[in-house]
Amino acid sequence: GENVEQHPSTLSVQEGDSAVIKCTYSDSASNYFPWYKQELGKRPQLIIDIRSNVGEKKDQRIAVTLNKTAKHFSLHITETQPEDSAVYFCAASKRNTGGFKTIFGAGTRLFVKA
């Protein structure tokens, strides 16, 4: 069935270093790939997304890359700051019979040490 695998499950970096989170998806019909950040006790919020007709997208310190052939996409955070500490979820979405179905990865807990 449809599946999104996310690695690593936990990531600890020093402030100022880069962090990379990787996801793979199984359904080649997926065409929309959002990333969400969830701070402790709060709701998930979109930080960046990419569509299947684009290979890379950047927004300040955050970038996402997509390799459709390998069914692989990654989140890159540069110059990490303590406030980047949170759980990050990748997701893959596609058109289903009537609407759009989104499958999430299991999440990556990022710790940024000051």
Q: Which residues bind another protein (CB under 8 A)?
A: 1-2, 6, 9, 32, 34, 42-46, 49, 51, 89, 91, 93, 95-107
Q: How far is the CB of 68 from another protein (least distance, A)?
A: 16
Residues 6+ apart with CB under 8 A from 68: 28, 52
d(CA 112, CA 85): 5
d(CA 2, CA 69): 17
Q: How far is the CB of 114 from another protein (least distance, A)?
A: 25
Of 19 and 35, CB closest to another protein: 35
Strand partners, 88: 37, 108
Of 76 and 101, CB closest to another protein: 101
Of 1 and 60, CB closest to another protein: 1
Burial environment of residue 99 by CB neighbours within 10 A (0 to 12, 13 to 18, 19 or more): exposed
Q: How far is the CB of 81 from another protein (least distance, A)?
A: 23
